[in-house]
Amino acid sequence: MFLPLPIIINITVAATLWAARPLSTDDAGTVEKEKFETEISFDHCQSRPEGTCQSPAFFIKHGLTDRLDFGLGFSHSTDKDADGNTVGWGMSPLEIGFKMALLKENQTMPDISLSAGYETGGTEYGLNMIFSRGYGNLGLHVNLGYDSPGEAMAKGSVGSALAAEYTLAGKYRLCAEFNAEALDDGSEVVGNSGLVGGSLDFGLLIWDAGLRLHDHHGPKATITSGITAGF
């Protein structure tokens, strides 16, 4: 299958590590047994109130069984102010994730998977329940996730995501999604965003691109692109 996150760790680990780009909404599929998938991506965001951020990332996944895969990933970010001065720079911790298919290839039920992930060096973790259903060339995906801070008395967050994708001529894919995240007690919205984009399958490589618009909790907009390969 063609690569998945986001499990939802502030809608980052889950989304970047698992979702079929440019979507951050995960699909229920897993990597085939003994196969690998790799992804190189680049995000450029317009920050608030002014400034920019560039973030390249690399991820790799391996199918351990017919129903279970394992993934590793990391990213780098560079933040600049309105004058182009670098105000932030650094590498993310190593991201580790697993995804297990609980129900698949059922004629009347959607495919269902559970993913889990965390960043090394920290105590927080994320869980995500994934539902996928295909109707001809149309695919629909729903994610329901929880991000735990891993600390007593600290608030976690719950996230939801809905995505639709449509395949044309077997190699062109159009997609759109909406993501929402709030603190688990409902006291604060962490962020909402929507994305439109697509991908082109060249056979050995898949190229994707998308535009994400955020509410006032996140950047104004993010342009994202990536290359995915399986072997």
Residue type at 171? Answer: K
- 197, 188 contact by CB (below 8 A): no
What's the pTM value of the predicted model, to 2 decimals? 0.89
In a domain, 3, yes or no: no
Does the CA dihedral 110-224-58-179 come out positive or negative?
Answer: negative
Strand 111-119 to 125-135 pairing: antiparallel
With respect to residue 140, please indicate whether it lies within any of the assigned structural domains.
yes
pLDDT in tens, the chain (231 residues): 333 333 333 334 344 456 789 999 999 999 999 999 999 999 999 998 899 999 999 999 999 999 999 999 999 999 999 999 999 999 999 999 999 999 999 989 999 999 999 999 989 999 999 999 999 999 999 999 999 998 888 899 999 999 999 999 999 999 999 999 999 998 999 999 999 999 999 999 999 999 999 999 999 999 999 999 999
148 found inside a domain: yes
Number of domains in the chain: 1
CA distances from 121 to 62, 93, 106 (A): 22, 7, 39
DSSP state of 22: T
Give the per-residue pLDDT at 17: 55
In a domain, 8, yes or no: no
Q: Is residue 216 part of a domain?
A: yes
Round to whole Å and give the CA distance between 71 and 38.
Answer: 9
Q: Residue 199's domain is classified under what CATH number? A: 2.40.160.40
Residue 193 inside a domain? The answer is yes
Helix, strand, or coil here: 138?
A: strand
Whether residue 4 contacts residue 19, with contact meaning beta carbons closer than 8 Å, is answered with yes
Question: Which residues form the domain of 136?
Answer: 13-230
The answer to whether residue 59 is domain-embedded is yes
| DSSP string of 171-210, one letter each residue | TEEEEEEEEEEEETTSS-EEEEEEEEEEEEE-SSEEEEEE
Look up residue 213 and give its two tokens.
Answer: 């618009």
Q: Is residue 219 part of a domain?
A: yes
DSSP-derived letter for residue 137 is T
Output the CA–CA distances (angstroms, integers) from residue 185 to 130, 157, 179, in the order listed: 22, 8, 18
